[in-house]
Amino acid sequence: QARGKQTFKRGGIWYTPQSGIWQTVWIEEVPQNYIQAIKLTPDIDNDELNIEIDYTGSSYDDMAAIALDNGNVMAGCKLEKGKGTLKLTDYECWSPENPKLYDLKIVAGSDQIESYFGMRKFSTGKDDKGFDRFFLNNEPYFFNGLLDQGYYSDGIYLPKTPQGHLDYILKTKEMGFNMLRKHIKVEPQLFYYYCDVYGMAVFQDMVNSG
């Protein structure tokens, strides 16, 4: 059984054990056939967003996606067998300095969901002197950040309130950092949402199984 960072003898990167639920849990009413999950892959080289949905129904009729910017429609496409591509123009790339996000609506039969996306690309390449560098949006970029243990003194694996996630990210940015390396732990989705919205890159470790 995976136990993550919990141990009875805490110390170093090993933390106080606890019981109970500490990740996000929700319940939602859905139609008989509904969208279970979505996968969004931005491609700035081809100015498009690739969409895949996991749908419970056997029929893929009447599936579509629409991208919006401040309520204005940017692009739309049909989803054939749960897959489609939005062709985009006049968009801004996401970066820690400009965390631009766009809204997304997906309809499948009688189900409809809302999400968001950022147009961004992480890669490696050579700079003008021939040195290997991390690239953001096809340009060399200096990621300056912290090793983030995901430990909170007031709640162990979570801050006392959800606001604690946001306060931590904003304080990290205020100190001049643009990246967090999340150390062998996966945070609740709200944490990553705040990183997207407020401009914090995340280097995500593989999860520690114990």
Q: Report, as ranges of residue numbers, the positions in the chain whose pLDDT lies below 50.
A: none
* CA distance readout (Å), 143 to 102, 128, 151, 181: 24, 18, 22, 10
* End-to-end CA, the chain: 8
b/e map of 188-203 (b: 16 or more CB within 10 Å)? eeebbebbbeebbbbe
pLDDT at 174: 98
pLDDT tens figures, 72-106: 999 999 999 999 999 999 999 999 999 999 999 99
pLDDT at 1: 64
* CA distance readout (Å), 3 to 7, 18, 79, 154: 8, 10, 40, 20
The residue ranges of DSSP E strands in the chain, in sequence order, are: 35-43, 48-55, 63-69, 72-78, 83-87, 102-108, 111-117, 122-126, 132-136, 139-140, 145-148, 179-182, 201-204
Q: Give this prediction's pTM.
A: 0.90
pLDDT at 128: 93
